[in-house]
Chain A
């Protein structure tokens, strides 16, 4: 009945159900539970016999279908309460199917739009050498983390299991970073890590930078989309060193 190629494109149990409903030429609201359950289980069998990975979600749905079906087969004297329960889970399934179908169609609409990079293209300029100082508000933690990932990619995965003592603590690194920023004025994100010798050092440096952002000792900005991420001091360096020291005391108080 169904070929492997078709099987592989099901996005999930709801998608498979919609496919079966369409194939049987019935409407979602009048879903014939018995027939659909049978075909659904047969498809799962087929998927398993083809060694396709059947995700847990498919099995949960199978259980739901069998449950609804068995409720419907019970004689009438089962009592009103249970009948209501049966009606509820069927209604709930119909609601989910209708909702999913709507979004499936909405996704199709999106796909038919004029998509940038497929149908239409725009001019992309190289980031200017000396960008202005327009602060871009949308630079998020996520942008920083993806920048960090690029840095980490330069370092090989460390496979040995020897325990190494952390050479520099986050606290010490914060002080070192402040001095470096004081000396250079501002630093491009990637160059913070130029002298790092290991992944752990990269991570410590990153944490130190985040901590400095948190206590508002430095500002991080990106003047242009996809341009360099620049880090600079937010106040005179002496004041910042004492701010770090204060943080340290407060931190100890909290810890006590």
Chain B
């Protein structure tokens, strides 16, 4: 296939997909085309959308590629959808970040870090599918272990968990005491 028509095909696939398209999925559809070629076209499209002031971008989220509307136009899109902007309370964001960096974790472990009850927050996060139960911990009572989901990555525009800044990097931006650095858990798990 000519590069130009391949480019057009890939653009169509991205346009209709309702969840991020992985390179693997794209190459399964585009049989016989080298991944390297597909990747290079994806990079081209990304650069083109960014440079030409389009109303959408090609984001790399949750292990795939996804067309997302440009941030500058958020207000208009919300008006169209008659939707209130997604809002997250501090409790939600704190709990979510603890789980994201330390997963898998039990409720008691999360509460230990936050110093407050997280029962209600966990229910909300489960309902919004931002976290899920990933198993049970092998201790007395066999409590549930929680971890983040693909939807979490999608919502926060993250390629994978390693795309999160390390806690050490975050500290670098503030005047707080230095301490042992931590990296997010391996996303391949």
Q: Residues of A with Cβ closer than 8 Å to B?
A: 9, 11-15, 27-29, 55, 57, 61, 96, 98-111, 113-125, 138, 140, 142, 146, 224-225
Contact = CB atoms under 8 A, between A and B. Distances in A.
A98 B176 CA distance: 8
A234 B78 CA distance: 43
* Dominant secondary structure of chain B at its interface with chain A: mixed
B176 A11 contact: no
26 contacts: A11-B116, A13-B116, A15-B115, A28-B176, A29-B177, A61-B115, A96-B113, A99-B113, A101-B176, A102-B167, A103-B97, A103-B98, A106-B165, A110-B93, A111-B88, A111-B93, A114-B156, A116-B86, A116-B154, A118-B85, A118-B87, A120-B68, A121-B69, A124-B18, A138-B150, A142-B132
B142 interface: no
Contacts of A12: 114-116
A119 B101 contact: no
Contacts of B11: none
Contacts, number: 146
A53 to B, nearest CB: 13
A142 B144 CA distance: 13
A102 B88 CA distance: 19
B132 A140 contact: yes
Contacts of A124: 18
A115 B116 contact: no
B42 interface: no
